[in-house]
Amino acid sequence: MLTDVHAHICDPVFDSDRTEVLQRASDVGVTSIIAVSETLEDAQKNLKLADTHPQIKPATGLYPTILSMDQAVSMENFIRENRQRLTAIGEVGLDFWKIQDESGRQLQREIFHRFIELGKELDLPLNIHSRSAGKHVISMLLEAGAKRVLLHAFDARYSTALPAVEAGYFFSIPPSIVRSRQKQKLVKQLPLASILLETDSPVLGAETNQRNEPANLIIALKAVAELKSVTEEEVQEAVVENCMKLFGW
């Protein structure tokens, strides 16, 4: 009963064999896949895919590097119109790795703040991108009083993550943990009660330059178990319980 809490299953690289990809995930126990979006086109595609694949749980958000208030407002309207079909708002957040000018970062903050407030208003979890901006993202979330939060592929230190842990936020771990010293250090210090699993398919796989897919969630699970010196069953029980808390399942 595992959930891949962050995957781009709408990506065109899956168009030729998506059904087989989903079956491989199901075969290893990944029964739910939260399909995040980057654009309105992605969001519409995710809803259509969910109609024919119950395994897919759609989420809707605007990628942080899209610096358009008009697109942000259109996405907000789409989220409101489809609230009952959505599992989360995402992915949304900040990206200070790609956006380095202060005017662009300020617009990112304004757009992100709108999505934080929308998540609170509609009682939807936030599925968050925070590349090179972890401290800033957590500060904005805490200041706004956000409660239901998932920080995907968090790339900062545990000391930066600690206020989010104390606030009850969750951190999702991808298969790339097997080649990331930063993520290994983070997982060693994170409590199991704060951990979820993701693939970020088709990227962040165990091998670089190879298409990642939801079935590889098991790689992340095994790595977390080894790093935490617990059994895989304990990790599975924890992430299932954490999913129930975050998503209300």
pLDDT in tens, 28-46: 999 999 999 999 999 999 9
Half-sphere exposure of 118 (CA within 13 A, CB side): 29
Q: Which residues contact 181 (CB under 8 A, 6 or more apart)?
A: none
pLDDT at 51: 97
Torsion angle defined by CA atoms of residues 78, 79, 83 and 88, in that order, rounded to the nearest 10 degrees:
140
Taking residues 89-114, report their average pLDDT: 98
* pLDDT higher than threshold 90 for residue 246: yes
Instruction: Give me 217's structure tokens.
Output: 């969630």
Amino acid at 67: L
Distance, CA of 20 to CA of 4 (rounded, Å): 16
Q: Domain 2-247 is in which class?
A: alpha beta
**pLDDT above 90 for 196:** yes
Is residue 66 over pLDDT 90? Answer: yes
Q: Which pLDDT score is estimated for 132?
A: 97
Quick check: 102 pLDDT over 90? yes
Q: What is the pTM of this model?
A: 0.97
Which residues in 121-160 are b (16+ Cβ under 10 Å) and which e?
Answer: eeebbbbbbbbebbbbbbebbeeeebebbbbbbbbbebeb
- pLDDT of 58 reads 98
> Predicted confidence band at 104 (pLDDT cuts at 50, 70, 90)?
very high
CA distance 248 to 156: 27
Asked if residues 178 and 219 have their Cβ atoms less than 8 Å apart, the reply is: yes
pLDDT for 49 equals 98
Q: Please, which contacts does 235-239 make with residues 24 or more away whose CB atoms are closer than 8 Å?
A: 235/192, 235/195, 236/2, 238/192, 238/193, 238/195, 239/2, 239/3, 239/195, 239/196, 239/197
Question: In this predicted model, what pLDDT tens digit does every residue of 213-229 receive, in sequence order?
Answer: 999 999 999 999 999 99
pLDDT value of residue 198: 98
Residue type, 62: L
pLDDT in tens, 143-158: 999 999 999 999 999 9
Q: pLDDT-based confidence at 69, cuts 50/70/90?
A: very high
Task: Check pLDDT > 90 for residue 249.
Answer: no
